[in-house]
């Protein structure tokens, strides 16, 4: 299952952590852009208690926190989409994308192009703050335009019932739930919040 964000910084790493933990899944971040501080894989491992074979190595680790195509160029390389093949896995696999769906991986390949080739269902993660309706509906249209199955939409943030309702209705997607702000963010708190606000069976 693919975890895609409507934008960068929407909370998809925290959501992916909770999902992978709840499913007993393995986790893969194909492209990590930005190596300052903890990487997303390291965050998932620490926060979700996923270790060893449950965390797959990134295909690309790029130094700069930027669009993957630009981060790769700054590292003196070009991302080869052929390297983004699904890793062998024994459990369910949660794949976290880099930024939004339409970010370029190269000057000619968008991230959503690779998503379409994987032919896996997508959970779209959206913030609840201002701007989410536009970003969410555009992301839904982009996925549908490429024939990608949408498992549903998961919100992250403070409750915004009207925005959540209109996105689900106009986008014709299942509202999976909303992960509230968790402070302090701990493994136990995250697991509890996910269990209270989502149905694990919706992701199988």
Give the DSSP H/E element, type plus range, for residue 24: none
DSSP E strands, 39-173: 55-56, 60-62, 93-100, 122-127, 150-156
Contact 175/140 with Cβ under 8 angstroms? no
How many beta carbons lie within 10 A of that of residue 115, not counting itself?
21
174 is catalytic: no
Q: Which of 29, 56, 127, 135 is catalytic?
A: 29
Tokens 């669009």 locate to 67
Question: HSE of 123 in the Cβ direction (CA atoms, 13 Å)?
Answer: 28
- Which residues participate in catalysis according to the annotation? 29
């Amino acid at each position: 299952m693919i975890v895609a964000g409507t934008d960068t910084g929407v909370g998809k790493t925290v959501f992916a952590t909770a999902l992978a933990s709840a499913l007993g899944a393995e986790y893969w971040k194909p492209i990590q852009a930005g190596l300052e501080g903890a990487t997303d894989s390291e965050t998932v491992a620490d926060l979700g208690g996923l270790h060893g074979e449950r965390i797959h190595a990134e295909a690309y680790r790029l130094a700069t926190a930027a669009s993957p195509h630009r981060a790769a160029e700054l590292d003196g390389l070009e991302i080869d989409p052929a390297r983004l093949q699904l890793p062998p896995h024994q459990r369910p696999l949660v794949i976290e994308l880099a930024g939004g769906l339409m970010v370029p991986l190269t000057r000619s390949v968008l991230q959503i192009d690779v998503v379409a080739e994987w032919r896996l269902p997508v959970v779209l993660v959206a913030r609840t703050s201002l701007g989410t309706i536009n970003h969410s509906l555009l992301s839904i249209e982009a996925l549908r335009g490429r024939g990608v199955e949408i498992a549903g939409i998961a919100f992250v943030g403070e409750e915004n019932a009207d925005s959540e309702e209109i996105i689900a209705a106009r986008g014709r997607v299942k509202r999976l739930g909303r992960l509230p702000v968790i402070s302090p963010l701990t493994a136990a708190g995250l697991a509890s919040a996910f269990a209270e606000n989502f149905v694990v069976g919706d992701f199988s």
